[in-house]
A and B are shown apart, each in its own frame.
Chain A
Amino acid sequence: MNAFLARNRLIVLAYAGMVVLLLVTALFSPGFLSVSNMRSTVVLAAFVGIVALGQTFVIIGGGIDLSVPWVLNSAAIIMALLCGGQDLPLVWVMPMLLAGGAFIGLINGIGVAQFGVPPIIMTLATNVILQGLILVLTGGSPTPSAPALIQFLSVGRVGGFPVIALIWLALTLVATLLLSKAAFGRHLYALGTSATVAEFSGVPTARTTILTYVISGLTAAFAGMLLTGYSGQAYLGMGDAYLFTSIAAVAIGGASILGGSGHYLGTVAGAMVLTILTGLLPALNLSSGALLIVYGAVILLTVSIGSETFAGLGGRFRRKEG
């Protein structure tokens, strides 16, 4: 147990932070802990969490994916256009768009792993190219409403549980298995810690890198479709907020932006923290500007706790644990 705590200090702290935040929010707004409110918080957090799943893999591998906003937005818009409000086309539209998201990830990954393009630039380029193409495609006009089936996935319930929360839970299980039990996970941590050492140790670094971007493309596209169901229709710019929140969720979850550390379980807590904060501010009667300030402060605080300087201060504590 002690060894577990020492190894996953930052993730445990992220969950501790989440619980404290929940209690503080409940103090200011007594209705916050009600079942219905918790349910809507989890639903909102699920969108951040699903986008941040791919981002977690990419960041652990030492990269970053700035293309999530328009991969998400493209999937949302194209789904709405192709389905035209009907459920039946989803049978082929959904797999096709997931494959499309994976394909964009593949391009990102090949650019980064094979051509040595810095991840920031590679994914920024695919993001603006997608943005332009979607704008050309739609001419800036709104799209038909979302099919009922996708609305069920985002806002429906099964036995009192939101469907999307169950989806998120399933994805969390898959991500945890991939990171903790699969060879891919071990390769990923090795790659993120040092690409050179990993390469010389026989880790298939190029394949592992490419796979992280493919996963990120997949989750962004999936989140785009679900989000269309949540808001009832797809609109231009709906993915923009998810660039910041997906990276912030990973950072708050304790992963190093340099790669090699972190876990999706931490990101889950990060997504919850970000969403609870958005609920806290109306309770405190604060503006959206204040929310941005709090977001920034929380990111600074969590990355400071994870930094070497603070780890040095906590050295005595950790030695006792180890």
Chain B
Amino acid sequence: MSASERPLEMAQKPAEMKPAKPGIDWRGRLLDRAPFLVACLMLALIVGIYGSLQSGVFTLDEINLDTAAAMTLMLAATGQTIVLLRGGIDLSIGGMISLGTVIAATRFTDDPSTVALWTLVILTLGFLIGALNGLLISLLKLQPFLVTLATWSILNGVAMIILPTDGGSIPGWWVGFASAQFVGLTSPVWMLLALLLFWWWFRATGVGLTIQATGSNEKSAFLSGVSITRVNLVTYGLSGLFAAGAALFLVTQTGAGSPTIGKDYILPSVAAAVIGGVSLFGGRGHLAGTLIGAFVLTLIGNLVFVLHVSSYWQPVASGVILLLSVLASSVAEKAARNRVQ
């Protein structure tokens, strides 16, 4: 059932709408957050099993390590979350991440000012390419899935021309960034906190609210004076910007550029968001859920390792978790719909 069909249903059954009751609807709130709570439960379960099999899980070191391992996915998934809230999808982040890593690997030198310049170039490029996606979607009235599939292919092609095979080099001090510590916490942990801070700002300024409202119901947002073109431009621009950020972080982990690595983040970024309770139909979700989803997907790898089973079970486990989460979401959405009616 697509978002645009919901108002019709409401119009058909006005008699069943209940008057608002005083007090807080705890059951409704719980149902609304069911997907997020399921994600928290999964994370707790995974960390619990992991912690009982491996010593030293509940230490600062482990938090630092796991956050670094999950950060690329988190950055990519933050952009994807914004796009999903808008009711779209961005497959082009795969191309942008690849492009970002190959530019960094071929242009970064030991000179910090060169690195600063190219970092700025990569981030600007990310925003502009994302904004171009948004423009194409709006002006030509195209489907996000196909537009971003096409731009993914194009960006991937450009990345392959810049650097045909994995390689290049990243200056050591940039690689060291991921393990640099401030007040006992490594920079990825600070980035995680910064992402949450960004989200708080994003929601507080109204940009986020406008995007979410448009994803919830494009027609009513338009009728309330929202420029859909501008919303798309900002939404996909931010997604491209975060993909560029993911690329810049990814090179600290790999130490090299890769023209194909980005595709490993396209669907997992969607999966992380969905596991965290973000709705694919737009309008519902929160970054905290996405970040937990990214942790779940990353920690499955650790779990498979300590259980001493073949690492090939990791995709099986993530697929099953994805299915369980999305079933929880669909139950919650159905309940929410019934409540509205």
Contact = CB atoms under 8 A, between A and B. Distances in A.
Please say whether chains A and B are actual partners in one complex: yes
Interface of A: 64, 66, 111, 115-118, 120-122, 124-129, 131-133, 135-136, 139-140, 195-196, 244, 247-248, 251, 256-258, 287-297, 299-300, 303-304, 307-310
Interface stretch (B31-39, B105-113, B157-165, B286-294): B157-165
B326 A121 contact: yes
A149 B8 CA distance: 56
Interface of B: 1, 5, 8, 89, 136, 139-143, 145-147, 149-161, 164, 259, 267, 270-271, 274, 280-281, 310, 312-320, 322-323, 326-327, 330, 333-334
Given A247-B149, A287-B161, A293-B158, A304 B142 contact: yes
Most buried by B among A120, A127, A140, A296: A296
Given A129-B316, A309-B140, A118 B280 contact: yes
B125 to A, nearest CB: 16
20 contacts: A118-B274, A121-B280, A121-B322, A125-B319, A135-B312, A136-B312, A136-B313, A140-B312, A196-B1, A248-B149, A251-B149, A289-B157, A289-B159, A289-B161, A291-B157, A292-B156, A295-B157, A296-B151, A296-B152, A296-B153
Given A196-B5, A304-B142, A132 B270 contact: no
Given A116-B330, A121-B270, A296-B155, 13 more contacts: A111-B323, A120-B89, A120-B270, A121-B271, A125-B322, A127-B319, A128-B315, A247-B149, A289-B156, A292-B154, A293-B158, A296-B152, A297-B154
A294 B141 CA distance: 22
B1 A117 contact: no
B157 A290 contact: yes
Contacts of A125: 319-320, 322-323, 326
A307 B316 contact: no
A60 to B, nearest CB: 14
B174 to A, nearest CB: 25
Nearest to A291: B157
Contacts of A195: 1
A128 B316 contact: yes
A34 B151 CA distance: 34
A117 B146 contact: no
Contacts of B139: 309
A299 B150 contact: yes
A244 B152 CA distance: 10
Contacts of A292: 153-154, 156-157, 160
Contacts of A135: 310, 312, 315
A297 B156 CA distance: 12
Contacts of B259: 289
A304 B157 CA distance: 21
Contacts of B267: 66, 124
A290 B161 contact: yes
Given A116-B334, A196-B1, A287-B160, A136 B271 contact: no
Contact of A287 (B164, B271, B327, B330): B164
A244 B157 CA distance: 14
A299 B92 CA distance: 14
A296 B154 contact: yes
Contacts of B152: 296
B92 to A, nearest CB: 9
B153 A129 contact: no
Given A125-B319, A288-B160, A308-B141, A117 B327 contact: yes
B141 A132 contact: no
A301 to B, nearest CB: 9
A289 B158 contact: yes
A213 B103 CA distance: 40
B262 to A, nearest CB: 12
Nearest to A310: B140
B202 to A, nearest CB: 24
A36 B151 CA distance: 34
Contacts of B270: 120-121, 124
Contacts of B334: 116
A125 to B, nearest CB: 4
Contact of B164 (A64, A122, A139, A289): A289
